[in-house]
Structure 1
């Protein structure tokens, strides 16, 4: 019996050694030395424990394969005695796996020599609203019937776009941000105005990588708008309705920030956190609705989607419009979403607009317009197609469309040729609602700037809105950004309270009758090209298009304004 037990123990020992050898071979290929040692010691403990248990079984006369009850205390005492270690002495999980704690900053990845660390992108808060901090960036002053903004410093920010990856900052500035020369960007970098991942960049030859965050500090100038005050028609706590003057964008876009309806309401009336229900073209005037609460915004949005919001516009067009009711159902195609240019085309989306002549003064006609669908520039495109473009429409009334100005859809040139012709016709590009650099002639047009010219180096795209109109969303070539944040501003010492104002016959706030626009004292920047220019102030024809949103009606509400002066029967064109 003694010999039988010894043979069994020998077999168990040989079997255990064989298993240990196999597992050692596996672990040595994937584990480091410390892991192997830990595993080897545990295996030996298992072997010793197995032999001890078999010996105890032999001494007690109990077969080795039979389970015997063992208390927890006995097990713990036994393990401590056999291993000679406390529980706290066991290697932790990181030591067993051969991995230490992940390094902060680089995500656990070791950077190669000369490699830049790119932080992960920050989460954006889409619900951020403009606050007093933004409104205090600069102030207004009024001159020659125009509302003007003191120049101020501003940060344009953007993450590296996919098409920029692998390119240098110099390449990106040269190909996409052509509002300024390469020499300007090089000087701006030396002064710390260009930052990459919040670190000033002095050498523009740095290669961009995915998730790079860029910041460009600029000396910002905004174009002037008409000085007529914003009239609040309704403010009941749920809905805010204003009579928007022509030339003022609804919300910040492109070169416009403080000269917008949103900022004027915030700066002059302390109204913020508004929800946009619909939008109007910058050059269009009239009824503009905002929701005060999110619940009301959703309710009005549903009315728009269900086409339960009835809209009525009035405009003045060239020529004698036919009497009676005229319906235009020509489909409208967006030539370029980025540029916001449209035309009638069989491939376009279905549209329906009802027109009715109200008066004719021998030269122009006042027309009532009811857009039953909501396409971009719907009223303007349909009237152009009918041969009666809106007076002062810088796009659809331009001679670039040909001798008949697009009547009947006859253009006689490609979309690219049309866009080139529009830019060449209007050197003052900010009136066009198109982007100069998108046409490939932006740099050439910029070279033609002279002290006395009214050249503007920015452009806009048009965002469609359910009313058939759109908001000019400029693409500012300082940075094609999706997010903007202000920095400390350096405003003029003059404030609004220091500017005694009067009101002219058109209702515009005015100061001095100076017909030129130059940078006010105390706000000049030595790198800013705008500060070196003196521009003539825009004329009324350049700021006001004769299209007005007269009435908006829903199931249980109706908001309207009075007719603008140019829509009255006794109105006479000053020209």
Structure 2
């Protein structure tokens, strides 16, 4: 295995949680390589060496000469004048390291848990369907994080007000005073200055953003892989304001497809093909194919204007302007990128375009279309005047610096953190408004969910699970007098908030190929004939 393959394998094991390497073994393997005498003689060779030394281009470990072995042996046998073994640099035994790590790992420390989601997480709350939307009953959740370097010395209230903008400062003030926001499991005042390694825990009453009630449809499933057609508006995995309203949670909670390993991702508003591995080996195999650009990907999208004839190639490098809010731009300082585009048909003043990304950069198709001057029709981010009068065409952002661009994007409210609020926040009632109260106010029936057009086969029918009961149950509604969002009239998202005209249509790798049905917006004219 060469160096490149070794790096890929190590990365895959880290992301997918290979059973052969757990948190303990990472540190044990590191200690083993630092002091090779602590590994027991009958221990099997690890599948992947995590920390190793390389002294040549072939990636081989350096050979130890006979003289070096003899010197090391004599050093180990040396004793003090009193006949006792030297203790100054005594090696820790394998059992001692294992036991020490086991004690730390099995502690009740909030961070001392294995990665992933256990049954308790899945049972935090449940779903109900209303107005064609999948909604989550509000639930209590504890966010934990260790103090970051830039926070050290700052007051805890200042840090939360500055770093976590989901709520105003007075909400965090009340949480601190009520003992819901703690440091190292202890209640502290609002002017407490954070120290290195402080553990912050914040108990919140969480309201998730609704997503479409369109079902997730399985394209293919076997013992190694699950391929689904993801509806727009549903994130792949927990992020931001989404947790239970994500693909991985929905598949696990409602259809018992648990422990899926993410191979690639789609933007929340993008629909289409999504692949999951059901074991670490398959996940590594497909992930390596994608990383080594051995997978052919085809997307369809609807863009503004009449796209040029022929095959248009864009090779502009893409740079991430801000990971925090998820924004990219074309920049010579970015990573290499290549996408080919071909117009399939005209749809009124728009064009249906076939996209083939040859690399896999963040927001690649969306950014390249913005640069070419043909942004996706309803892209809430890259088809916006915040990028200047030309909306970023040709890399022209109206003279804005990256810092100004980020500030302006935050000020117009980042589309990826959508939160609909009816009316002026300052005029909302002071008493908590429950899900039930909002429903009654808006004339929504609580006894039955509206009809949703389902395809012939949903995930439930293909996994042998019955369709869950998603009618509204008032007994599952919770409120919190200290919760800021319980006091707001939250409106339902409308179609423009839930969909973007970009669809992952076909993926083809080594020995496999998958394809989804096309969304309705891509079948408005004869374009479907060209696609098929």
TM-score greater than 0.5 by the shorter chain: yes
Higher relative contact order (CA 8 A, sep 6+): 1
Of 528, 547, 552, the match for 2:502:
547
1:219 is paired with a residue whose SS is: strand
Mean Cα deviation higher: 541-550 or 522-531: 522-531
1:157 is paired with a residue whose SS is: strand
2:378 is paired with a residue whose SS is: coil
1:490-569 equivalences in 2 (<5 Å): 500-504=448-452, 522-569=477-524
Of 363, 367, 374, the match for 1:377:
363
Structure 2, unaligned stretches of length 5 or more?
A: 1-106, 427-433, 440-445, 459-466, 528-532
- Go from structure 1 to structure 2 and tell me whether the alpha carbon gap of 1:454 and 1:376 turns closer, same or farther (over 3 Å shift): farther
Of 135, 153, 164, the match for 2:122:
135
Instruction: Report if the CA contact (8 A) 1:141-1:499 is conserved.
Output: no
Query: Residue 289 of structure 1 corresponds to which residue in structure 2?
Result: 275
Separation in 2, partners of 1:450, 1:382: 33
Instruction: Report if the CA contact (8 A) 2:240-2:417 is conserved.
Output: no
Structure 1, unaligned stretches of length 5 or more?
A: 1-119, 435-445, 456-489
User: 1:531: how far off?
Assistant: 0.8
* RMSD between aligned residues: 3.4
User: 1:144: how far off?
Assistant: 0.9
Of 270, 273, 284, the match for 2:259:
273
Asked which structure has the greater CA Rg, the reply is: 1
1:357-372 equivalences in 2 (<5 Å): 357-372=343-358
- Go from structure 1 to structure 2 and tell me whether the alpha carbon gap of 1:287 and 1:189 turns closer, same or farther (over 3 Å shift): same
Separation in 1, partners of 2:516, 2:377: 20
Separation in 1, partners of 2:475, 2:166: 22
- Deviation sequence 1:347-402 (CA, Å, 0-9, x none): 32221111111111221111110001111111111111111100210111012222
Of 387, 391, 395, the match for 2:377:
391
Of 334, 344, 352, the match for 2:330:
344
Separation in 2, partners of 1:319, 1:185: 47
1:155-170 equivalences in 2 (<5 Å): 155-170=142-157
- Go from structure 1 to structure 2 and tell me whether the alpha carbon gap of 1:285 and 1:520 turns closer, same or farther (over 3 Å shift): farther
Instruction: Report if the CA contact (8 A) 2:345-2:351 is conserved.
Output: yes
Separation in 1, partners of 2:481, 2:497: 30
1:302 is paired with a residue whose SS is: helix
Query: Residue 150 of structure 1 corresponds to which residue in structure 2?
Result: 137
User: 1:308: how far off?
Assistant: 0.7
User: 1:228: how far off?
Assistant: 0.4
- Go from structure 1 to structure 2 and tell me whether the alpha carbon gap of 1:240 and 1:189 turns closer, same or farther (over 3 Å shift): same
User: 1:164: how far off?
Assistant: 2.4
User: 1:433: how far off?
Assistant: 5.9
1:94-493 equivalences in 2 (<5 Å): 127-199=114-186, 201-412=187-398, 413-424=400-411, 426-427=412-413, 429=414, 431-432=415-416, 451-452=422-423
Instruction: Report if the CA contact (8 A) 1:335-1:343 is conserved.
Output: yes
User: 1:125: how far off?
Assistant: 6.2
Separation in 2, partners of 1:525, 1:250: 29
Instruction: Report if the CA contact (8 A) 2:225-2:277 is conserved.
Output: yes
Separation in 2, partners of 1:132, 1:142: 23
Separation in 1, partners of 2:113, 2:211: 28
User: 1:154: how far off?
Assistant: 0.4
Query: Residue 33 of structure 1 corresponds to which residue in structure 2?
Result: none
Separation in 2, partners of 1:173, 1:405: 33
Instruction: Report if the CA contact (8 A) 2:213-2:452 is conserved.
Output: no
Instruction: Report if the CA contact (8 A) 1:233-1:241 is conserved.
Output: yes
Instruction: Report if the CA contact (8 A) 2:129-2:450 is conserved.
Output: no
Separation in 2, partners of 1:409, 1:418: 13
Separation in 1, partners of 2:352, 2:120: 44
Separation in 1, partners of 2:218, 2:421: 40
User: 1:405: how far off?
Assistant: 1.6
Q: TM-score, normalised by structure 2?
A: 0.68
- Deviation sequence 1:305-364 (CA, Å, 0-9, x none): 221111111101111111221111122222223332111222322211111111112211
